[in-house]
Chains A and B, each alone.
Chain A
């Protein structure tokens, strides 16, 4: 009897030991690369596959989107559209037209009150485009607001026109999310497939495992400190966060963040951060990015109805930290708090 059991026990222990050892030995180390573009940090962490090559390629794709959409770069289509403001129409690429169309569609969800790609003359007025920060007068703001709305934008197929010569568009509010869309398209085709890729593009995340991982643990950044206030679990997804701590300047102890509320012309003050989780579908990275601004600039009273509007369009959930630090979630997600409110 004893003789019969001993080898079986040995086999089980040996099996467990060897499995642990080899699982650990063969699980590849993630390769992390950090780049700087679009005025932010771009970090890629790839595990498995040809990780270093994947990271380089993802950076190249982000640079391409930057060259296409940049507010500053001479070769960008945004610069061409803006240069022709009040003069005539400009022909753009189908990709650029599709991105514009997506952005304008998100604006329409809340009638342009909370997100507007044509708000950029106000960003300039506050100094966010030049880094020459200042607090403008109320008159300057209302004067500028008059021509800083997307109703100045005429989009027909791949032809774009800005009616007022002072109007400008800036795709900074969707470009990072759109970059993640382009990256996800590429990652699907990579052979051999990486086990997982985490892209963090200035707070816009792409969580990619080819559909294998369903328990991504996504920390929600404490808007007024280091570390997290809690986390949510997710399948592969795009996770976009708009926060007042990303880019801002301070004057006389007051914080002025870079997200201008299109309904007032002043930096948004209703919330500290809004995090949008969208599923992996074409353009959902860009849509999530834009919706981050929509929810960031929304009062608590309208967030629920806004969510109901977008829930059928790939939005999985929303986490909001308001100006008082109170957290709320929308959608079938569970926010696990790790700190006291």
Chain B
């Protein structure tokens, strides 16, 4: 085997490895995780793939909030000290991109993970 052939072989091998690594990084998927933030600071992270129901007690800007993950992939606000109760009435979040927001408490629950397929949400 000639020296130049070996170089060609090594170059092909490196290129293939880089392609595979890139592909894996690009297509890496995580299970749905809900991130709870107050004033843009993460106060809790909930694994929505967990089959165990979970109740979280957090403190918003106005007061306490009770957040429930039902163990079936959904998360919602069960109780909140806000005048409008919009967060409590919001449909539970379960898919990447879904949110439950309590504006008076500066609290946002976001389901993270790839797969929303859109750039922005008109809402």
Please report A residues at the B interface, Cβ cutoff 8 Å: 6-7, 9-10, 13-18, 20-21, 24, 33-36, 39-41, 131-133, 198, 200, 203, 205, 207, 216-221, 224-228, 231, 239, 241, 243, 246-250, 273, 275, 319
Contact = CB atoms under 8 A, between A and B. Distances in A.
B12 A36 contact: no
Contact of B117 (A20, A21, A217): A217
A203 B85 CA distance: 19
A217 B11 CA distance: 38
Contacts of A227: 95, 97-98
Contacts of B23: 20
Given A13-B12, A17-B14, A226 B95 contact: yes
A17 B19 contact: yes
A231 B12 CA distance: 41
A131 B81 CA distance: 13
Place the interface of chain B in its size category: 35 or more
14 contacts: A10-B12, A16-B19, A17-B19, A21-B18, A21-B19, A39-B103, A219-B97, A221-B121, A226-B91, A226-B93, A226-B99, A241-B123, A246-B123, A250-B89
Contacts of B118: 217-219, 228, 231
B45 interface: no
Contacts of B97: 219, 227
A10 B4 CA distance: 11
A34 B42 CA distance: 12
A41 B108 contact: yes
A216 B92 CA distance: 27
B84 A14 contact: no
Interface string B97-123: 111010100101000000011111111
Nearest to B95: A227
B39 interface: yes
A220 B94 CA distance: 18
Interface centre among A24, A39, A273, A275 (most CB of B within 10 A): A24
Nearest to B5: A6
Chain A CB within 10 Å, residue with most, of B14, B19, B123: B123
Nearest to A241: B122
Nearest to A230: B118
B106 to A, nearest CB: 5
A10 B19 contact: no
A200 B97 CA distance: 14
A17 B116 CA distance: 27
B94 A203 contact: no
From B12, B14, B99, B116, residue with most partner A Cβ within 10 Å: B12
A33 B39 CA distance: 10
A141 B98 CA distance: 37
Contact of B84 (A18, A33, A133, A216): A133
Given A24-B26, A203-B123, A218-B121, 14 more contacts: A14-B14, A15-B15, A34-B108, A200-B120, A217-B119, A217-B120, A218-B118, A219-B97, A219-B118, A221-B123, A224-B91, A243-B123, A249-B84, A275-B122
Give 4 closest A-B pairs by Cβ, nearest first: A17-B15, A221-B123, A219-B118, A131-B83
A14 B11 CA distance: 6
A116 to B, nearest CB: 23
B103 A40 contact: yes
A36 B41 CA distance: 13
Interface in B1-54: 4-5, 8, 11-12, 14-19, 21-23, 25-26, 37, 39-40
Most B Cβ at <10 Å: residue of A13, A198, A246, A249: A13
A34 B37 CA distance: 10
